[in-house]
């Protein structure tokens, strides 16, 4: 054997799979897709980020501006193009904005099943992994949204599948498309490469053989990145790359007083991965025991795959914890399918050690019942991930009031700009002006000597504004409250000067 052969030659390849019926996998994927599509038509207003992305996609749909020349763009364009196409096909609506992500989330289930089957060659692993993803409250909650993470996850899962099957050029292209959906998808590149190398390396391969495959992957990835950078350069003087860095990269590690609170927050979000915090914790314990057992057989390919995926997930989670990124729930979407695939692997390993076929069937049925039951809070809108489903109730009614009753008026805003940018439409009948501080608003009202308006959420964050305006002798009168009582409009009258 060539002296430059990969050290991975020592890994033992699993036996080839026997042909198995496809209907169980098709049923699981269909169940997951049905659950996701059932949530698309829910009468729920956009989260602020969703509203921003939908407004940007609407601009593309209505103006044909493929460069999206807007100063507020801090994301790559692929998901915006997909949403704009949906607007063209179905009209501008919340349903049309959310439908693409629900479909891509269903495709991710199919890719995850195929990836698990390609890596482990065992339906007893791939089916539980797909079922965990299909019924995951966390993944379900994000499927009917406009967040860019959902489509990025599909492209990364597809890239991992293609790499695991030795299709390196396609894997590089898919990874590039993932980054064109969201730049954070670049975190998935090391895992894609590792899974591809582990699963496709053969005894006869040499380092040059592996190098050629990786060059095909890197070449397609570099080509995609070059096109994305050229697109951004063509938008001058705007740059989504610069704004993405400014908005999303903290540039520091966390402080000592943040260690526990951030760990608690990430643990809280992880608790929704498999139904309830208890079920997720049980799977985590089973996985830990399984990985310890796999330490004795790391020269086997499947054990090496287990530990590679686990090490990658722990590294990303550690980065999210120890670097001062925002603790947004959606930052775990890219990891969730791989974590749940490990959960399926641990469940399958535990199942194989149970005595008797009857007990194994009972365990499978128990898992199915528990997972289906765990989807009920999501279907009822009671799961606090994916955005608060009631927090922005009435924002559309507020926009109608501003466009009709306050047509031609100047309305100040500090909190609702992204949502109102969508719900007011492409051509609002009034002027919405962002105001950074209450003191600045009081000074402007004192100078203008006129009547204007303030749109605001009815919450504690409004009180300092009303207090500052009152001390500046600016008269405030509530003239509108939207249904649900979440938002209001105040008429502002400038102070009288004798």
Structure tokens at 437: 């501080």
**Which helix or strand (DSSP H or E) is residue 294 part of?**
helix 277-294
Beta bridge partners of 431: 410
Pairing mode, if any, of strands 451-457 and 410-413?
parallel
Pairing mode, if any, of strands 475-481 and 487-493?
antiparallel
Q: What span, in angstroms and rounded, lies between the C-alpha atoms of 4 and 430? A: 71
Q: What span, in angstroms and rounded, lies between the C-alpha atoms of 308 and 341? A: 13
Task: Report whether 62 contacts 426 (CB < 8 A).
Answer: yes
DSSP state of 70: -
pLDDT of residue 165: 96
Q: What span, in angstroms and rounded, lies between the C-alpha atoms of 371 and 369? A: 6
> Rounded to the nearest 5°, which phi and psi values hold at 413?
-150, 145
Q: What span, in angstroms and rounded, lies between the C-alpha atoms of 180 and 160? A: 16
Q: What span, in angstroms and rounded, lies between the C-alpha atoms of 8 and 491? A: 71
pLDDT of residue 498: 54
pTM: 0.91
Q: How many CA atoms lie within 13 A of 387 on its CB side?
A: 19
Strand, helix or coil at 100?
A: helix
Place of tokens 């009547």: 451
What are the chain's domains? Answer: 18-379 (no CATH), 395-493 (3.40.190)
Contacts of 161 (CB under 8 A, 6+ apart): 111, 114, 115, 118
Q: How many CA atoms lie within 13 A of 366 on its CB side?
A: 9
CA distances from 261 to 273, 305, 491 (A): 20, 32, 40
Contacts of 426 (CB under 8 A, 6+ apart): 58, 59, 62
pLDDT tens series, the chain, 498 aa: 333 333 333 444 444 444 557 888 999 999 999 999 999 988 889 999 999 999 999 999 999 999 999 888 999 999 999 999 999 999 999 999 999 999 999 999 999 999 999 999 999 899 999 999 999 999 999 999 999 999 999 999 999 999 999 999 999 999 999 999 999 999 999 999 999 999 998 878 788 888 899 999 999 999 999 999 999 999 999 999 999 999 888 889 999 999 999 999 999 999 999 878 888 998 999 999 999 988 888 888 999 999 999 999 999 999 999 999 999 999 999 999 999 999 999 998 888 878 878 888 888 888 888 888 888 888 888 888 887 677 888 999 999 999 999 999 999 999 999 999 999 998 999 999 999 999 999 999 988 878 999 999 998 999 999 999 999 999 999 999 998 888 999 999 988 755
Q: What span, in angstroms and rounded, lies between the C-alpha atoms of 380 and 395? A: 21
CA distances from 325 to 260, 346, 406 (A): 15, 30, 40
Handedness of CA 65, 68, 69, 70 (dihedral sign): positive
pLDDT of residue 247: 87
Strand, helix or coil at 407?
A: coil
Strand, helix or coil at 475?
A: strand
Task: Report whether 60 contacts 427 (CB < 8 A).
Answer: no
Angle at 105 between CA 104 and CA 111, to 5 degrees: 85
CA distances from 459 to 44, 415, 465 (A): 20, 11, 11
Q: What span, in angstroms and rounded, lies between the C-alpha atoms of 335 and 322? A: 17
> Rounded to the nearest 5°, which phi and psi values hold at 64?
75, 15
Strand, helix or coil at 436?
A: coil
Q: 10 Å Cβ neighbour count for 209? A: 17
Angle at 380 between CA 375 and CA 383, to 5 degrees: 65
Ordered alpha helix ranges (H), 409-462: 417-423, 438-448
Give Cα 99 distance to the centre of its chain: 15
Task: Report whether 164 contacts 115 (CB < 8 A).
Answer: yes
């Amino acid at each position: 054997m060539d002296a430059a052969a990969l050290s991975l030659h020592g890994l033992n390849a699993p036996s080839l799979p026997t042909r198995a019926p496809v209907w169980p996998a098709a049923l699981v994927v269909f169940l997951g897709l049905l659950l996701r599509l059932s949530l698309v038509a829910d009468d729920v207003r956009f989260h602020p980020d969703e509203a921003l992305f939908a407004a940007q996609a609407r601009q593309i749909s209505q103006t044909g501006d493929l460069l999206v020349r807007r100063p507020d763009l801090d994301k790559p364009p692929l998901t915006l193009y997909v949403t704009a196409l949906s607007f063209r096909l179905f009209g501008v609506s919340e349903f049309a904005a959310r439908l693409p992500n629900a479909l891509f989330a269903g495709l991710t289930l199919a890719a995850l099943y195929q990836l698990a089957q390609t890596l482990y060659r065992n339906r007893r692993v791939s089916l539980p992994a797909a079922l965990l993803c299909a019924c995951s409250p966390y993944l379900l909650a994000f499927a009917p949204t406009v967040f860019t993470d959902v489509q990025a996850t599909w492209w990364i899962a597809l890239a991992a599948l293609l790499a695991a099957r030795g299709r390196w050029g396609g894997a590089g292209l898919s990874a590039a498309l993932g980054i064109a959906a969201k730049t954070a998808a670049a975190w998935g590149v090391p895992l894609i490469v590792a899974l591809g190398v582990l699963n496709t390396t053969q005894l006869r391969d040499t380092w040059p053989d592996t190098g050629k495959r990786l060059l095909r992957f890197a070449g397609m990835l570099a080509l995609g990145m070059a096109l994305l950078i050229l697109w951004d350069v063509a938008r001058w003087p705007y740059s989504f790359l610069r704004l993405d860095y400014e908005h999303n990269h903290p540039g520091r590690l966390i402080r000592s007083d943040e260690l526990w609170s951030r760990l608690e927050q990430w643990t809280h979000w992880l608790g929704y991965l498999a139904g309830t915090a208890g079920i997720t914790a049980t799977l985590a314990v089973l996985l830990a025991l399984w990985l310890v057992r796999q330490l004795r057989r790391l020269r086997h390919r499947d054990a090496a795959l287990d530990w590679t995926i686990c090490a990658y997930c722990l590294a990303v989670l550690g980065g999210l914890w120890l670097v001062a990124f925002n603790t947004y729930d959606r930052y775990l979407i890219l990891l969730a399918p791989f974590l749940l695939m490990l959960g399926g692997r641990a469940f399958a390993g535990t199942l194989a050690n149970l005595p008797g076929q009857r007990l194994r069937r009972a365990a499978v049925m128990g898992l199915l019942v528990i997972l289906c039951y765990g989807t009920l809070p999501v279907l009822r809108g009671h799961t606090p991930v994916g955005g608060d489903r009631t927090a922005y109730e009435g924002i559309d009614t507020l926009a109608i009031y501003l466009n009709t009753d306050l047509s031609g008026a100047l309305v100040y805003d500090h909190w609702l700009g992204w949502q109102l940018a969508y719900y007011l439409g492409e051509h609002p009948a009034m002027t919405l002006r962002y105001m950074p501080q209450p003191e600045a608003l009081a000074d402007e009202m004192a100078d203008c000597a006129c009547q204007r308006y303030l749109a605001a959420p009815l919450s504690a964050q409004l009180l300092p504004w009303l207090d500052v305006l009152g001390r500046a002798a600016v008269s405030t009168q509530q003239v509108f409250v939207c249904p649900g009582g979440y938002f209001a409009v105040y008429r502002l009258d400038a102070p009288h000067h004798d």
